[in-house]
Amino acid sequence: MVKYMKRVVLITGASRGIGAAIAETFANAGYDIAINCLNQEMLESGGVQVAEKCRAYGSKAECFIADVSDFDACEKMVDEVAAKMGGIDVLINNAGITRDGALVRMGEEQFDAVIEVNLKSVFNMTRHVASLMMKKRFGRIINMASVAGVGGNKGQINYAASKAGIIGITKTTAKELGSRNITCNAIAPGIIESAMTASLPDKIKEGMIEATSLKRFGTPQHVADTALFLAENDYITSQVILVDGGLAL
């Protein structure tokens, strides 16, 4: 039996981008880190490096491979994390993909893939982690939504639907689990600096920046800091926190 020492956070899709920033931020705050990667390739290309950075803060950090759109794979991973890390105190449902396209040209596979990875994964992970948190009478669940789930976005009907669904899951989870001292909130990022935004033509980037009130992109660190705040606050639940620089105003 693993002796419980620190709070343990499990982050899906944590081998890069926002997920990696969240992992490092929580490690710096004293959490032990469970890093979910889709497959061995993602583990080797990013997960291992994220774990090393987390350990530099003195935290325990381990990688766990699972396709979070798979219900049974999620159950297996949750059991493995709980056994190896000593429990799961914070779940951050961060894994997500895009398959953009206009409504009239979008194929069924494009739509279904995004729903499976972005939305069903949140149900899968929350369903399996909830029982552990209920027994402990403590838990923090943080789901990654998007401004697209709040106001929609052209060319992203699948993505917007998945993120709007996450908001619905968040609010229902908060109502069902609140009596067990489990909070559930969502973060809705706007335009965040990434490899994708860096590769865009300057004219497009300028237009995106102009659409925000603060006239600049956000960073993965802005999202990570918000996640840590929600994890450490025990009286905020069922909320959707926009980290968007005023994009949705």
Given pLDDT bands bounded at 50, 70 and 90, which one contains residue 196? Answer: low
What is the DSSP track for 136-189? Answer: HT-EEEEEE--HHHHH--TTBHHHHHHHHHHHHHHHHHHHHHGGGTEEEEEEEE
Mean pLDDT of the 149-171 span: 97
The answer to whether residue 146 is domain-embedded is yes
- Its pTM stands at 0.95
User: Quick check: is 172 in a domain?
Assistant: yes
For residue 236, which of 168, 188, 185, 186 has the smallest C-alpha distance? 185
Q: What is the pLDDT of residues 51-109, one digit of tens each?
A: 999 999 999 999 999 999 999 999 999 999 999 999 999 999 999 999 999 999 999 99
The domain spanning residue 69 has which CATH number? 3.40.50.720
Report DSSP letters for 121-149, one per residue.
HHHHHHHHHHHHHHHHT-EEEEEE--HHH
Sign (positive/negative) of CA torsion 217, 222, 227, 229? negative
Cα–Cα distances in Å, from 35 out to 53, 88, 173? 12, 12, 23
139 located within any domain? yes
- Percent of the chain with pLDDT strictly greater than 70: 98
Catalytic residues: 159
61 in a structural domain: yes
Domain of residue 21 covers: 8-189+221-242
Residues 6+ apart with CB under 8 A from 232: 29
Question: Does residue 201 belong to any structural domain of this protein?
Answer: no
In a domain, 72, yes or no: yes
Determine phi and psi for 194, rounding to 5 degrees.
-160, 175
Q: How many structural domains are present in the chain? A: 1
- Cα(138)–Cα(38) distance, integer angstroms: 27
Tokens of 245: 């620089």
Is residue 161, in this structure, part of any structural domain at all?
yes
